[in-house]
Amino acid sequence: MFTRRDFLKTTAAVGALAGTAGLAMPALAKGGKIKLGYVSPQTGPLAGFGEADKFVIDTFLKSFGDKFEVVVKDSQSNPNRAAEVAKELIVNDKINLMLVASTPETTNPVSTTCESEEVPCISTVAPWQPWFIGQQGNPGDPKSWKPFNFAYHFFWGLEDIIAVYTGMWSQIETNKQVGGLFPNDGDGNAWGDPNVGFPPVLKQKGYTLTDPGRYQNMTDDFSAQISAFKKANCEILTGVMIPPDLTTFWNQAKQQGLKPKIASIGKAMLFPQAVEALGKGGHNLSTEVWWTPTHPFKSSLTGQSAADVAAEFTKVTNRPWTQPIGFAHALFELAVDVMKRAEDPTDGEAVAAEIGKTKLDTLVGPVAWGSDKLPPFAQKNIAKTPLVGGQWRLKDGGSYELVVVENATAPQVPLGGKMEALN
């Protein structure tokens, strides 16, 4: 209703400096530049995810601007807008490969559009279940689920986050009563799903889940949930919330005397700014960690380590590092790798087939599709990256630092400390 589609002109970043890393690229020598389309939320409530885009694309074009052109579109945090700009990229800009990042609200409409228009697409930064199942015609019936021919996705899944969260929880003595805060959106419905979400695994691991039900995002009041959690004596809180709701909830919880030992909340605490908004109350809140400067991976484009890339981001933008930097960077690593192998970059089917054959060590870890660690229906289109757990620690001066405290599922990522209870 209040979109500003005409006001914000979408920007087209066009190549600047030349000077490649001397890679042999037979496919690229055939003349014109390869066109990459890139969709991410740069404005609106999800804008934090898109913050690193400009930096990543500038870095990419510095080395590959002579072979690639990137057309950037803003989803404005709106799924309808995301589908619309994806169509524009395909029909008007005639892109050769679509790259899309950040939350199912962005990745799903764009991937679906690409699949129906037969344009290859690499997607990331959304757990794979909401991405894969959310795009199926009948999400309720696993038998009807079909793999995609053009849309590929790399990220972790709910099974990883459940393993990471329960790993963190097992480090602290609790009564195993868990309170769940799942909103009525793509992520919340997947996390709270009675078949593939948290409930069955928690039950199996001996936790009791109190799930009052799906709430709407941008809620002003969480008294009902708080009173349900108090009644069940929940010492652990979990959920997947947007930052404004976490702030409202966390303040109300303290005002109404709910004092959990652990609070592991997904999505809301990815960004240091969101944790700082909680004031001192953010100390020792825990969250999933997909990428940090301590991850022991290197970029296949620039050879920089995770720490180098994060430091450069801070130097260029004067902002603290955020997790999406690594994944936005990896998207372009994959684009270069796939196009290097593709005979003809304009042949969508051939490019899509090459995506499926990828085996690349990226800034976010090794990416390869077709792993047998996934359920059979998802093996073709999903590649998994490592996930660990972290806690936000208040530093002197009021800023926060993310410390990795759980790495059982990805031991190559070093621990920064031990899990601490909230109070």
Partner 1 sequence: MRSTRPISGRASMNIIDTLVQGILLGGLYALFAAGLSIVFGIMRLVNLAHGDLIIFAAFAILTITSMFGLNPFLSALIAAPLMFAAGWLLQYFLLNRTLGKDILPPLLVTFGLSIIIQNGLLEGFAADSRRVPLGSLEAATIPLGAVNIGVMPLLTFLSAIVVIVGLNTLIYRAPIGRAFRATSDDPVTAGLMGIRPQRIFATATGLAMVVVTVAALYLGTRANFDPSAGPSRLIYAFEAVIIGGLGSLWGTLVGGVVLGVAQTIGATINPEWQILAGHIAFLAVLAFKPRGFFPRAVD
370 binds partner 1 (CB under 8 A): no
Which of residues 20, 136, 177, 210 is near partner 1 by CB under 8 A? Answer: 210
As measured in angstroms, the least distance from the Cβ of 181 to partner 1 is 9
Q: Please, what's the b/e burial string for 340-377 (b: 16 or more CB within 10 A of its CB; e: otherwise)?
A: bbbeebeebeebbbbbbebebebbbbebebeeeebeeb
Q: Which uninterrupted H or E stretch holds 52?
A: none
Neighbouring C-beta atoms of residue 255, cutoff 10 Å: 10
Residue nearer to partner 1 on the CB measure, 173 or 220: 220
Which of residues 243, 345, 386, 416 is near partner 1 by CB under 8 A? Answer: 243
216 binds partner 1 (CB under 8 A): yes
Stretch that binds partner 1, among 19-27, 44-52, 323-331, 339-347 (CB under 8 A): 44-52
Which of residues 79, 167, 200, 212 is near partner 1 by CB under 8 A? Answer: 212
Which of residues 26, 147, 213, 417 is near partner 1 by CB under 8 A? Answer: 213
248 binds partner 1 (CB under 8 A): yes
422 binds partner 1 (CB under 8 A): no
9 binds partner 1 (CB under 8 A): no
Binding residues among 73-102 for partner 1 as defined by CB under 8 A: 77
Residue nearer to partner 1 on the CB measure, 154 or 271: 271
Contacting residues for 171 by C-beta, under 8 A, at least 6 apart: 405, 406, 418, 419
Residue nearer to partner 1 on the CB measure, 226 or 367: 226
From the centroid of its chain, how far is CA 138?
24
Binding residues among 223-242 for partner 1 as defined by CB under 8 A: 223-225, 227-228, 231
Residue nearer to partner 1 on the CB measure, 197 or 345: 197
C-alpha–C-alpha distance, residues 301 and 297, integer Å? 12
- Phi, psi for residue 376 in degrees, rounded to 5: -50, -40
Binding residues among 174-203 for partner 1 as defined by CB under 8 A: 184, 194
Total interface residues for partner 1 by CB under 8 A: 52
C-alpha–C-alpha distance, residues 272 and 23, integer Å? 37
Q: Does the CA dihedral 374-377-381-387 come out positive or negative?
A: negative
Stretch that binds partner 1, among 88-96, 139-147, 163-171, 208-216 (CB under 8 A): 208-216
Decide: 45 and 58 in contact? Cβ < 8 Å: no
Both tokens assigned to 387: 């996930």
C-alpha–C-alpha distance, residues 133 and 146, integer Å? 9
**Eight-state DSSP code of residue 31:** S
Which of residues 10, 35, 44, 293 is near partner 1 by CB under 8 A? Answer: 44
**Eight-state DSSP code of residue 414:** P
Which of residues 94, 203, 214, 357 is near partner 1 by CB under 8 A? Answer: 214
Nearest to 391 by CA among 373, 356, 418: 418
Residue nearer to partner 1 on the CB measure, 19 or 213: 213
Decide: 331 and 128 in contact? Cβ < 8 Å: no
Contacting residues for 195 by C-beta, under 8 A, at least 6 apart: none
142 binds partner 1 (CB under 8 A): no
Binding residues among 267-296 for partner 1 as defined by CB under 8 A: 271, 273-274, 277-281
Nearest to 262 by CA among 170, 354, 383: 170
Per-residue contact flags (x/-) with partner 1 for residues 312 to 331, judged by CB under 8 A: --------------------
244 binds partner 1 (CB under 8 A): yes
45 binds partner 1 (CB under 8 A): yes
Pairing type for strands 236-240 and 208-210 reads unpaired
| DSSP string computed for 128-151 | HHHHHHHTSS-TT-GGG----SSE
Residue nearer to partner 1 on the CB measure, 38 or 150: 38
C-alpha–C-alpha distance, residues 279 and 282, integer Å? 6
Residue nearer to partner 1 on the CB measure, 280 or 315: 280
Residue nearer to partner 1 on the CB measure, 12 or 218: 218
Q: Does the CA dihedral 69-75-81-83 come out positive or negative?
A: positive
211 binds partner 1 (CB under 8 A): yes
Both tokens assigned to 282: 């953010």
As measured in angstroms, the least distance from the Cβ of 165 to partner 1 is 20
Residue nearer to partner 1 on the CB measure, 114 or 269: 269
Write out the residues near partner 1 by the rule CB under 8 A: 1-2, 4, 7-8, 42-45, 47-48, 51, 77, 184, 194, 210-216, 218-225, 227-228, 231, 243-245, 247-248, 251-252, 254-257, 271, 273-274, 277-281
